[in-house]
Chain A
Amino acid sequence: MPTTKSTAGAKTAKTPPARAADRTYDAIIVGGGHNGLVNGAYLAKAGLKTLIVERRPLVGGAAITEELYPGFQFTTFSYALSLLRPDIIHELELTRHGFMPLLMSSTFAPMENGDYLWLGQDHGQNLKEIARHSQHDADAYTQYSHDLDMVCQALKPLLDAPPPDLFSDDPEELLALASLGSRFRKMDKRLLHNTVRLLTGSAADFLDDYFESDILKGYLASTSIIGTKVGPRSQGSGLVLLYHSIGEHDGAFGSWAFHKGGNGGFTQVLARAARSFGAEIVLESPVTNVITKGGQATGIALADGTEYRARTVVSALDPRRTFLELVNPRELPTDLVENIRRFRFQGTSSKVNFALDGLPRYPALGDRGDQFRGFTNIGPSMDYLEHAFDEAKYGWYSSRPYLDCAVQSTIDPDMAPPGKHVMSTFLAYTPYKLRESDWDAERQNLGDTVQRTLESFFPGFSDLVLHREVVTPLDIERTVGLSEGNIFAGEFLAPQMYFFRPAPGWSQYRTPIDGYYQCGSGTHPGGCVMGAPGKLAAQRILKDLGRA
């Protein structure tokens, strides 16, 4: 993993309070990722004296932007914005602090035969483009989009509220459960059936009902495999597809934005918002453990021995670190420890970030470059994706991987010098545990595999490469701290969602230790730069403190 040369706008001085008296807070958040920042901002806004403690020299967690090559800004890990809850934008007044979600105006999907699918902002033109591949699918696409939007609209409220506690007799929880049931009862048959099929089935089965064209199915199925060890034909991929479709950009489901300055630009906005409400942020302060006394959290201890005191401590780290590392598992109920131990991480995502001397060239489009004003999706068919998954089942990475690329400097020119470009390339199916090898040995081979794949679609691509950063699941774990490099802080599998995220009985942001809470992506509703876990945890805390 490269060292950070400098960071985009992230120079927050390490300013631990000098006097012992200053080390007492109402609330301390461990981890300055986006959920930690959201949580801290809400708590500070409610009047709590709040401290956010970050291990690295910059906030953001996996949502950072770094100048890893002079003049080129890299979104090292997370690279686009969609699931961020709109209420957080408003309630934390993010537009006052520079929130700027730039439109990604197109999606480009190259094909192995040299053709392509290129969708943009004009619905009618999109239908004509799809019709080039299948007249049938042009009609089906509108129906599919409508059906999917219906499911998203029906389920969206679940992202903005904590799951009811299935195991509680509290009347409030029973009421919440009844309300959840009634939400499903109100759906018509078609909507309910589509919902269940997506929540439980495979993306392939769902898509096959609508479409016949390989390229369209490949493109649409791609969102069903992001960050999760499933193929499009695996049961459970429907849930991942649904999850990625329920995000929105300015009210349009499934649309993605590129934040000004990358997702690191976004987390800087969050940090400014948190500070504006009075939260303090300290950097380069790794936390070794949460201090407890008599079953009550009382503060945190840093690696250098510094201690901060607070009656509320919130972990923004993943469930493994929250329950098995920051506190002593002996303080926790056995069933919880067992559930956390079997909580699936098995990260499978990598990134290869490129500094480019110019725009890649797609032969069928000549010298055009505007096809790159959004995602470029290398997943030209369901078979391509499923084959890419095959190798991962047996402990190896795809020899011809699925790639989700974004030449971000076409959307935000501040990402690279004039005429040059940065390209973020996300790839699936790089399992954390490699068979008879490891990522330190395979890192550059993975980079070569990705570059070779890109070269096959964009001849001359390698000649454009000025610099390359390969980020494997191991690097994600080492740098960001996400266990096994899982980008969602725990897989998106039905047994790990909603009532069960991160463990049965502990889905409402509390822990068995009084005053110790969890707010990371390992809690409901889960990963992506969504902020909902941070917000919902803050609501829980404030309610418990009698301040809601």
Chain B
Amino acid sequence: MILRSPFHERTSVLNETGLWSHWSGTLATRRYQMSDKFEYFAVRNSAGIFDSSPLYKYRIHGPDAERFLSGVLVRDIRACSPGHAQYTAWCDDRGFVVEDGVVLRHGRDEFLLTAAEPNLAYFSDLIGRDDVRIEEVSQEHAVLAVQGPRSRDLVARLVPDAAALQYFGLATGKIAGSPVTVSRTGYSGDLGFEIWIKSADALTVWDTLWESVRGHGVLPFGLDALEMLRIEAGLLMLDVDFSSSRFGWTDEDRSTPFELGLGWMIRDLASDDRAFIGRRALEREMADGTSRWRMTGLVLDWQDYDRIYTGAGLIPPKDHTPVLEELFVYDENIRQVGYATSFMYSPMLQRHIAMARVRPDLARAGSSMRLEVDVNHRYEYVKATTARLPLYSPARKTA
């Protein structure tokens, strides 16, 4: 039986399209109204509300919780003081990424970790002698992401401490008498917050929030708009841009943090004494230069794109719908040098963009590439340039 989010009673009324996905066994709206692009622009121009409740959530607590997480997560959790959150990843012993997620540190020994897929057995098996407990609390917490330029003002009206929150900071407060945690996090690449609510309070909080944003152009947004936002923001999606190393059939299905553009997580290994899982493999990869790929943004040459389609007698499509399939990336001699995993037309950037992996020696920003597109049932190779991710990153995101 498919689950319903704690907000389902409200979101199901607002979903006018009848388009739903199954996300972690839970109904999730694809788009609330006929235009996903209208929802997308609400986020980029005002604010949007997204129901993130289906995320897997793990409470990790106990005297050794910090030590445990230091040993299993790629980023140093000790640098994340209570009242802060951290985007992180976890690797296997060969340095391949298992998954990524956000960890919220509520106290010295109290953490909440999010994940896209079940990880309870994986983490539990790694506890060893540490005095730490891991509980799956996915159903206990409802989560609402409020994302967009107006989000700070709107959230702060309900939780005043949100006003001064730093990027990846946490605040607590009450909405309609229900205790909530607000984190300055999200998956949109914009100024944004997530509100963590006890599931039993979900509808009360929703009603208060929904009423308070009236007149501000705020819309609920679904997965379609979210996928647009996160590609512009260069944010990875499991099973689209990478696969969990646990379930790869071959190493071609596996990626290291360096290959996914997450190398910044382990920039300071020299001053980091942790023996976290995968460390030695990652050190070897760095020392030997064995990374197979580098993650990069790709920006298509608009003139070449228009020329190819127009020459074929077609109107050059500028479809914002993300293409979440592999498209091959070539050098100028049409030799394959990588592959793109997420592709779309970005309305904000007015360009076709992609998240792609290319050979490390070609990954410098500004390198000339070609991306395959099928035109009249044949591949054409559109000029593209590598660019640093994220391709869209407004100052307000971190300011």
Contacts and interface: CB of A to CB of B under 8 A. Distances in A.
Residue from A95, A101, A103 having most chain B Cβ neighbours under 10 A: A103
A89 interface: yes
Interface stretch (B102-110, B212-220, B324-332, B370-378): B212-220
B350 A105 contact: no
Interface in B1-45: 33-35, 37-38, 41, 44-45
Interface in A260-311: 260
Interface in B316-369: 316-320, 345, 347-351
A462 interface: no
A390 interface: no
Nearest to B38: A105
Nearest to B16: A370
A420 B317 CA distance: 37
A250 B46 contact: no
B188 to A, nearest CB: 16
A252 B349 CA distance: 17
B217 A251 contact: no
A105 B44 CA distance: 16
B302 interface: yes
Given A120-B35, A253-B315, A419 B302 contact: no
A86 B302 contact: yes
Contact of A413 (B217, B319, B345): B217
B348 A103 contact: no
Interface string A392-418: 000000000000000001111110011
B350 A418 contact: no
A149 B313 CA distance: 12
Interface string B177-201: 0000000000000000000000000
B34 A122 contact: yes
A87 B38 CA distance: 24
A101 B347 contact: yes
Nearest to A410: B217
Interface string A528-540: 0000000000000
A370 B315 contact: no
A89 B348 CA distance: 11
A160 B281 CA distance: 56
A250 B366 CA distance: 25
Contact of B348 (A87, A100, A417): A100
Residue from A102, A409, A410 having most chain B Cβ neighbours under 10 A: A102
A100 B37 CA distance: 13
Contacts of B217: 409-413
Contacts of A5: none
A87 B306 CA distance: 10
A95 B346 CA distance: 11
Contacts of B46: 413-414
Nearest to B217: A413
B215 A418 contact: yes
Contacts of A411: 217
Residue from A94, A125, A251 having most chain B Cβ neighbours under 10 A: A251
B45 A102 contact: yes
Given A90-B302, A103-B37, A370-B33, A251 B317 contact: yes
A412 B216 CA distance: 9
Interface string A92-134: 0011000111110100000000000000111001000000000
A153 interface: yes
Nearest to A417: B215
B35 A99 contact: no
Interface string B39-57: 0010011100000000000
B315 A102 contact: no
Nearest to A251: B318
A49 B187 CA distance: 44
Interface residues of A, number: 35
A259 B328 CA distance: 35
A85 B303 CA distance: 13
Nearest to B317: A251
B37 A413 contact: no
Residue from A94, A125, A414 having most chain B Cβ neighbours under 10 A: A414
Given A412-B217, A419-B215, A103 B350 contact: no
B214 A250 contact: no
A184 to B, nearest CB: 16
Contact of A250 (B35, B150, B320): B320
B41 A102 contact: yes
Given A86-B302, A250-B318, A253-B315, A121 B35 contact: yes
B350 A99 contact: yes
B214 A419 contact: yes
Given A410-B217, A413-B46, A418-B215, A373 B38 contact: yes
Contacts of A419: 214-215
Contacts of B216: 413, 418
A490 B217 CA distance: 38
B76 to A, nearest CB: 36
A120 B33 CA distance: 10
B34 A121 contact: yes
A80 to B, nearest CB: 15
Contacts of A250: 318, 320, 345, 347, 350
Residue from B35, B310, B349 having most chain A Cβ neighbours under 10 A: B35
A418 B34 contact: no
Nearest to A96: B349
A125 B46 CA distance: 27
A415 to B, nearest CB: 9
A370 B214 CA distance: 14
A260 B350 CA distance: 15
Contact of B38 (A121, A409, A413, A417): A121
A122 to B, nearest CB: 4
Contacts of A253: 315
Contact of B37 (A99, A121, A149, A410): A121
A120 B34 contact: yes
Contacts of B347: 101, 103, 250
Contacts of A94: 350
Given A95-B350, A251-B316, A412 B38 contact: no
A105 B312 CA distance: 29
Interface string A246-262: 00001111000000100
Contacts of A370: 33
A153 B348 contact: no
B47 to A, nearest CB: 9
A252 B316 CA distance: 9
8 contacts: A90-B302, A94-B350, A95-B348, A100-B44, A250-B345, A413-B216, A418-B215, A419-B215
Given A90-B350, A103-B41, 17 more contacts: A89-B350, A90-B351, A103-B38, A105-B35, A105-B37, A105-B38, A121-B34, A250-B318, A250-B320, A251-B319, A253-B315, A411-B217, A414-B45, A414-B46, A417-B215, A418-B215, A419-B215
Interface of A: 86-87, 89-90, 94-95, 99-103, 105, 120-122, 125, 149, 153, 250-253, 260, 370, 373, 409-414, 417-420
The 10 closest A-B pairs by CB, nearest first: A413-B217, A251-B318, A418-B215, A419-B215, A121-B35, A122-B34, A105-B38, A105-B35, A250-B318, A121-B34
Interface of B: 33-35, 37-38, 41, 44-46, 150, 214-217, 302-303, 310, 315-320, 345, 347-351
